[in-house]
Amino acid sequence: MSPRPDLGPKPRLGYTRNPIERASERRNDTAFLAAVAADAGARVYLIGGELVAMNKQPGGIDPLFALERARAMGAGEMVFLGLLDGAGRYGAPLPRDRMEALKGQADFVVSDLRSIAVQGMIDHDHLAQLAEAKALLQWHGRHRFCANCGATSLMVQGGWRRDCPACEAQHFPRTDPVVIMLAISGDRCLLGRQARFATGMWSCLAGFLEPGETIEDAVRRETREEAGISCGTVTYFASQPWPFPMSLMIGCHAQATSTEITVDKTELEDVRWFDREEAALMLMRRHPQGFGTPPPVAIAHHIIRAWIEDERPDR
């Protein structure tokens, strides 16, 4: 076995370690919610689709706005994310025309959440809070009508439930589970690429978990469907909220029991095996052919790195 490569300090996984205390047990307490919203320390993130509005300041970029200022800017109905150091944190939708109007203005920065994370535009602790806000707001945007009877539903519990006034059905925010996995055969790992990927980028295979399916079975099914590779032992690695729009990435390593690849061209452009040394070069952006892996903000980067550094799934 080749020596373990030195990949340097481990980066932090994006959209994780949310510092907010969600105060979920207080969401039915209207007096509590009103008091938190009235406090001068309450702040809100302004989100419009994939875009986030932020304040440009001499010391950097601040993605938080005072609630009154946000309302004056045209923010919509706010969702309660929780408390940070006792102060309320919220997310609010900003209409597209208002978001577009902020672009180019000297006091504001408007960017998409993915770019904000990859480029390190704001303090890392904001990313998890923004992911929470973006996912919750997108759920509300897509579920304004009751799925049971079609009537317009109402936001309650600070945004953590929608109630139908017609049929009294209750609707709760959803999270879509996605398995993302690295199949391993000896000293090789399996990576694929989609046509939409940046030139030279390869990543772990991934797919949605289906109803009535275990994580392990989903890993095996998706790897077999997309690459024709059968897997045996599946080991959980870590998870990551992925707000595009509202997924939970469930990272795994899987022991391959076959090696002959059959690519599902409807899903992937290509799939191939990479040895540990080549994968390390890709992770460090030193591959002679310009191949690379996703950036540290994505869990795929960490799944691949754990295997390169010999954090074997059978341990």
> Structural domain of residue 94, as residue ranges?
24-142
Question: Over the stretch 73-121, which tens digit does the pLDDT of each residue have?
Answer: 999 999 999 999 999 999 999 999 999 999 989 999 999 999 999 999 9
Is residue 5 domain-resident?
A: no
Question: Over the stretch 112-162, which tens digit does the pLDDT of each residue have?
Answer: 999 999 999 999 999 999 999 999 999 999 999 999 999 999 999 999 999
- Note the pLDDT of residue 5: 75
In this structure, is the dihedral angle defined by the CA atoms of residues 140, 146, 152 and 157, taken in order, positive or negative? Answer: negative
Is pTM beyond 0.85 here?
yes
Enumerate the β-bridge partners of residue 80: 90
Question: Which residues of the chain, if any, have pLDDT below 50?
Answer: 312-315
- State how far the Cα of 133 lies from the Cα of 129, in Å rounded to an integer: 6
- Note the pLDDT of residue 59: 86
Pair 129, 187 in one domain? no
Pair 87, 195 in one domain? no
- State how far the Cα of 42 lies from the Cα of 88, in Å rounded to an integer: 5
The CATH number for 108's domain is 3.90.79.10
Q: Which helix (H) or strand (E) holds 36?
A: helix 30-38
* 16 DSSP assignment: -
Pair 110, 197 in one domain? no
By the 8 A CB rule, do 183 and 205 touch? yes
Pair 200, 216 in one domain? yes
The total domain count for the chain is 3
